[in-house]
Chain A
Amino acid sequence: MPAAHYNTNVFVNCPFDPAFAPLFDAVIFAVLDCGYTPRCTLEIQDSGQSRIDKIHALIEQSRCGIHDISRTQPDAGSRLPRFNMPFELGLFLGARRFGSGNQRNKACLILDRDRYRYQKYLSDIAGQDIRAHHNRVEDAITAVRDWLSPLTSGRSLPGGREVTRRYHVFRRALPALCRSLRLDRESLTFTDYTNLISFWLQEESRLSRQRPPARHHRQS
């Protein structure tokens, strides 16, 4: 992806496990609905790059970064915690601090389950933009939208409630979309999922513009 997209690329650094999937799916939708391009390591499966090289490239190509650090509990299988999210957050903050040129204007949203929980396990990040999603889709979408809004010049973003409404309508349509395309809903690739969202939003926007303005009826 060319450097021209740097300002609209959003590096999404979140858990990929099934328990987090509802929030991950919602965050990806919110990023696209706000006019940005989500980038994440799930793109790696389609490329021949090594994982760390790809992470470096994604961070370098993205002005914005969303980092969810809520997955603090040990993995159910290994009983060990996973450090990928804090590691990639550190890389992102390091790029902003030590990088040159436009790397220095990076913007970063850190999500956790509760607002001040990070102080117990990652207190070094105090002073960053940390917001709570309370494991709720609505809160995650609103956090992403509200964070992107001041970073977006020249246009206004739809409100968090509107993005959430559209997300729920899209989710209801997703089984039919998958059936129509003979895709397995549970194992959609990141590429397929993001393209489905983007096309759905484009078509939904087109239909909305065709709709006649709402008329107000008098109550008799």
Chain B
Amino acid sequence: MSATHPRVIGRPAARLSRAREAAFRKAVHDVLAGQVGNGRGQSEARLDRAEACGTQSLAEHLKPFSGSRLRHARARVSR
């Protein structure tokens, strides 16, 4: 499967109303973009985002860190 080729993803049988679908899509976008925390702090949300984007090894590196330390650690790791 090509990395640039869109994946085929299943569609639920029961569709939502347009307004509700828009709200769901926005929530998903915001969470994946790291704009909404998941109750464990923004650092964890960033880690989730890193993992969601597939940068699992980077996320592994950053797991022990949080907050400003996370930013410094990320800079170190990516250098």
Binding site for B on A (CB under 8 A): 1, 5, 8-9, 31-39, 43, 46, 155-156, 158, 165, 169, 172-173, 175-177, 179-181, 190-191, 194-205, 207-209, 211, 213
User: Does B8 touch A at the CB level, under 8 Å?
Assistant: yes
Name the residue of chain A whose CB is nearest to the CB of B26.
A180
Contacts of B76 in A (CB 8 A): none
Q: Are A208 and B10 closer than 8 Å at their CB atoms?
A: no
Question: Can you report 10 A-B residue pairs in the complex whose CB atoms are below 8 A from each other?
Answer: A32-B12, A37-B11, A46-B14, A173-B32, A194-B12, A195-B15, A195-B16, A205-B9, A207-B32, A207-B52
Q: Are B10 and A34 closer than 8 Å at their CB atoms?
A: yes
Contacts of B28 in A (CB 8 A): 177, 196, 199-200, 203
Beyond A196-B24, A200-B28, 19 extra complex contacts between A and B, CB < 8 Å: A33-B10, A34-B10, A37-B13, A156-B1, A158-B1, A158-B7, A165-B56, A169-B51, A172-B51, A173-B32, A176-B37, A176-B45, A194-B14, A195-B15, A199-B21, A201-B7, A201-B9, A205-B7, A209-B6
**Docked pose: A139 CA to B31 CA in angstroms:** 28
Categorize the interface residue count of chain B. 35 or more
Name the residue of chain A whose CB is nearest to the CB of B38.
A176
Dominant SS among interface residues on chain A: helix
**Docked pose: A213 CA to B3 CA in angstroms:** 8
Q: Are A43 and B38 closer than 8 Å at their CB atoms?
A: no
**Docked pose: A33 CA to B21 CA in angstroms:** 19
- With A191-B12, A195-B24 known as contacts, the answer to whether A180 contacts B52 (CB < 8 A) is no
Name the residue of chain B whose CB is nearest to the CB of A39.
B13
Q: Are A173 and B48 closer than 8 Å at their CB atoms?
A: yes
Name the residue of chain B whose CB is nearest to the CB of A165.
B56
**Docked pose: A176 CA to B39 CA in angstroms:** 7
**Docked pose: A190 CA to B38 CA in angstroms:** 22
- With A176-B37, A181-B23, A209-B3 known as contacts, the answer to whether A204 contacts B52 (CB < 8 A) is yes
